[in-house]
A and B are shown apart, each in its own frame.
Chain A
Amino acid sequence: GAGVSQSPRYKVAKRGQDVALRCDPISGHVSLFWYQQALGQGPEFLTYFQNEAQLDKSGLPSDRFFAERPEGSVSTLKIQRTQQEDSAVYLCASRKRGTNEKLFFGSGTQLSVL
């Protein structure tokens, strides 16, 4: 498909487990963003990549959160030792090149930590 693809769609983890969430951006898109969306809230910025470089990680809530995009395309968001407060929808978005270009979002991964 031509859109941003995220997997898995749903993830249930026991507290303390590590999880990895995958994002396949639109082919050729230079910029990639991760957002976290708690129930009833708007999406909150986590981190930003331009190609393989992580240029902003100011939104990552703790050092348990780690993101990478080693070849400048697919990205993985990893959460170590998950906690209940990590339960949320994790959204990935990509953008072509220009900073005024629109963002294309995936449908997200809904993470539930029990």
Chain B
Amino acid sequence: DAKTTQPTSMDCAEGRAANLPCNHSTISGNEYVYWYRQIHSQGPQYIIHGLKNNETNEMASLIITEDRKSSTLILPHATLRDTAVYYCIVRGVLTGGGNKLTFGTGTQLKVEL
């Protein structure tokens, strides 16, 4: 699976949009971009995933560049409850191991008043 690079930490004011970047310059054509987050003392939670088109759901939007070498997760109106570690994961369709997810160290997002 392609390696991803994320900033270690970010801050965001409550009510503002949080834009979390991820670089995955070695991504190949059949690999998806997944985002999970982990709130303190909880297990990771799925947010969104995409292949090449932008995606939106009730939690967030995912913007993938045309060359697919990077993506941005957007939380449109961050709240204090969005404070968490956000993981960007690139995963192929058939990578074996049940298509296991390979987590990095993620971005610690802190939402402040």
Contacts and interface: CB of A to CB of B under 8 A. Distances in A.
A107 B42 contact: yes
Interface string B25-52: 0000000100010000111111001000
Interface stretch (A11-19, A38-46, A65-73): A38-46
Interface in B69-109: 85, 87, 93-94, 96-106
B44 A56 contact: no
Contact of B43 (A44, A50, A100, A107): A107
A33 B104 contact: no
Contacts of A62: none
B42 A56 contact: no
A79 to B, nearest CB: 19
Contacts of A35: 103
A49 B100 CA distance: 11
Contact count band on B = 20 to 34
Contacts of A91: 43-44
A75 B46 CA distance: 22
Contact count band on A = 20 to 34
Contacts of B102: 45
Given A33-B98, A41-B105, A108 B32 contact: no
A91 B101 CA distance: 13
A105 B97 contact: no
B22 to A, nearest CB: 13
Contact of A45 (B36, B87, B101): B101
B104 to A, nearest CB: 5
A93 B36 CA distance: 13
26 contacts: A4-B43, A31-B98, A33-B100, A40-B105, A41-B105, A43-B44, A43-B103, A44-B103, A45-B101, A48-B100, A50-B98, A56-B96, A56-B98, A91-B44, A99-B98, A99-B99, A100-B93, A100-B99, A103-B44, A103-B101, A105-B43, A106-B43, A107-B42, A107-B43, A108-B42, A108-B43
